[in-house]
Amino acid sequence: MKLNQPKTEIDLEKLITQNLDNALSLNGENSYTNSFLIKLAKGDKGFFFIPNLPVSYPIDNTLYFKIADICSAILYPYKTLLMQNNACFTPYKVDEPNLARAFFFPWVDGIPTRLNIDNLDQFIQLYVKENYIPIMKNNVGINMEEVVHMAISGSSGAGKSFFVEYLIRCLCFHTDQLLLVDPKMADIFILGKTLGLDVLSPKRGSNLNSFITEVNELLGKAIDTIYERQAILTKNPSATFQRFYIVIDELLALVQGSSKQARDTFAQLLGTIALLGRATKVSLILLSQRFDAPAFGGNLAVREQINCSIILGEINKNTTQFLLPNAHIDNIVVPIGRGTGIIKLVNGKNDSHIMPLLTPTYERKSL
């Protein structure tokens, strides 16, 4: 039990109700006039805001997000609201017309807590599964089988490379199907060489066009793998494949300064992998300070295929506009510090959930 945490469901219902009565402007209506009710969902999954019709206030997106903004702060640190793109309606007491519908506000217990790993090698052996990578305490992790393509955004110093090193070390414990591209010949390059992975970086004296041409050749080989797997699937639809990852560090550094022809080819190849990789288990893990159109060589179809978005560093409308353009992030409580931000995974289960993220810290010690 957390310090000062309400001990019963009634306590939380009362806490939410009292604060909404004080902070929510509903044309003079409130819980005292029986204009709305607050009830907790079974299984500690969130709470319902139930308007008791007839009411004089509009039941719309604006109201939903006003409630979310108020409750996000007052529930901290007992619960973490999972922010949505749009108002989440759900049936309530359908046999009573006045209480037939409700807003639903999903949450998780407590607040996100950073993993502090003393021995990374040992931790990976004990806790990393073939398709599951822990990212925070309280059993918060990423099922990589649900990740089609991943994008990680953040300014310099936000902790992107440190987090991606963690991901790569976890992934390569169970597979050698990783290709790394590092146009800066920095952290990812060094890591790839350390782990004995295939890594592509500019050769001494090469220009931008020659390097992006090499990257295009690599992507072309990945597309050959996709076509080979597609041919197998046409004969055996139940065939399974080991997931193949292509990690590209700093997309903007890769495309900036190269010729239009080279960028167009890169965009076309990247788009093909993004569109066809789902069924054939070929996944992209892309890093960039921002994911605007130039980062993809102008092919925005790539961004549309990304279903796991991670943004590190300062969280505001400017930093989220490319990966999460419709996200309501005004009152997401994100802890301050390096390697913090938000994560959204679209997997058919929690498509609209945006969760605060604290990436793991770790020490590398050989066993």
Q: Any idea what the CATH number is for the domain that residue 223 is in?
A: 3.40.50.300
SS3 342: strand
Shared domain check, 321 and 180? yes
User: Which residue, 109, 137, 169, sits at the end of a domain?
Assistant: 109
Q: What integer is the mean pLDDT of 1-27?
A: 78
Whether residue 2 is contained in a domain is answered as no
Whether residue 1 is contained in a domain is answered as no
Indicate the range of 218-222, 284-288, 324-328, 330-334 predicted with least confidence: 330-334
> What pLDDT score does 1 carry?
36
Shared domain check, 68 and 143? no
Whether residue 128 is contained in a domain is answered as yes
SS3 14: helix
pLDDT tens track for 87-122: 999 999 999 999 999 999 999 888 889 999 999 999
Q: For residue 225, what are the domain limits?
A: 116-362
User: Which residue, 75, 109, 143, sits at the end of a domain?
Assistant: 109
Average pLDDT, the chain: 89
d(CA 50, CA 13): 12
pTM value surpassing 0.95 = no
Handedness of CA 338, 344, 347, 350 (dihedral sign): positive
217 vs 85, higher pLDDT: 217
Beta strands, E only, the chain: 36-40, 46-51, 79-81, 89-91, 101-109, 116-117, 132-136, 140-143, 150-153, 178-181, 198-200, 244-248, 282-288, 308-312, 340-345, 354-358, 361-362
Shared domain check, 297 and 314? yes
Shared domain check, 198 and 64? no
If one counts the domains in the chain, the total is 2
> What pLDDT score does 243 carry?
92
The whole-angstrom distance between residue 243's C-alpha and the CA centroid of its chain comes to 19
Single out the residue of 119, 153, 165 nearest to residue 364, CA to CA. 119
Shared domain check, 129 and 89? no
Collect all residues with Cβ–Cβ distance below 8 Å to 2 and sequence separation of at least 6: 77, 78, 110
| Residue 244: strand pairing partners | 282
Single out the residue of 78, 35, 79, 80 nearest to residue 53, CA to CA. 35
Whether residue 191 is contained in a domain is answered as yes
Shared domain check, 89 and 31? yes
User: Which residue, 80, 109, 138, sits at the end of a domain?
Assistant: 109
Q: DSSP alpha helices (H): ranges in 25-99?
A: 61-74
> What pLDDT score does 2 carry?
43
Whether residue 367 is contained in a domain is answered as no
> What pLDDT score does 166 carry?
96
Q: Is the pLDDT of residue 286 over 90?
A: yes
Whether residue 3 is contained in a domain is answered as no
Shared domain check, 328 and 188? yes
Shared domain check, 267 and 169? yes
Q: Is the pLDDT of residue 3 over 80?
A: no
The whole-angstrom distance between residue 87's C-alpha and the CA centroid of its chain comes to 20
Please answer whether residues 150 and 310 qualify as being in contact, where contact means their C-beta atoms are separated by less than 8 angstroms: yes
Shared domain check, 89 and 168? no
Please answer whether residues 334 and 73 qualify as being in contact, where contact means their C-beta atoms are separated by less than 8 angstroms: no
| Residue 282: strand pairing partners | 244
d(CA 60, CA 126): 47
